[in-house]
Amino acid sequence: MPVQMLHTDEWATCTVLTEPGNYHLEGRCEDCGVATLARLNLGEVEDRYHVGRVTQEQYEAYCHLWATLSPTGSRPEWRDVPQDPTVLRIARKLCRAKGLTAPAHLTAVS
Ligand SMILES: [Zn+2]
């Protein structure tokens, strides 16, 4: 059964996003998921992905950003620009959560 994801707007709309100890259940809120991703390293993201705690879209966004921004540790296929609008949006939100400007290819309308 697919999980309904909350707060899938371009900009973060989750009202509990920055409240300590008051977070959404894992896997239910895109904004909170991005905030979690921003705190994890690549190995942690891969571990969580393999047990279903990081979604396919979150994983692809994280890996693509890693391949774009990090000189090491990425697989060549991660450099391919994602086509899924959800993956692109999560990648942009992840950039913001990290305090980075999203690369231009993530903001281009496909
Ligand atoms: Zn949330």
Query: For the chain, what is the domain count?
Result: 1
Q: Per-residue pLDDT tens for 62-108? A: 999 999 888 787 888 899 999 999 999 999 999 999 999 988 889 87
Residue 19 in any domain: the answer is no
- Cβ pair 16, 94 in contact under 8 A: no
Distance 29 CA to ligand 1 centre (A): 5
Residue 92 in any domain: the answer is yes
Which domain does 103 fall in, by range? Answer: 30-107
Q: DSSP per residue over 54-90, as a string?
A: S-HHHHHHHHHHHHHH-SSS--GGGGSPP--HHHHHH
Distance 89 CA to ligand 1 centre (A): 16
Residue 1 in any domain: the answer is no
Residue 52 in any domain: the answer is yes
Residue 93 in any domain: the answer is yes
Residues 6+ apart with CB under 8 A from 57: 84, 86, 87, 90
DSSP letter, residue 53 = S
Q: Per-residue pLDDT tens for 32-68? A: 999 999 999 999 999 999 999 999 999 999 999 999 8
Residue 73 in any domain: the answer is yes
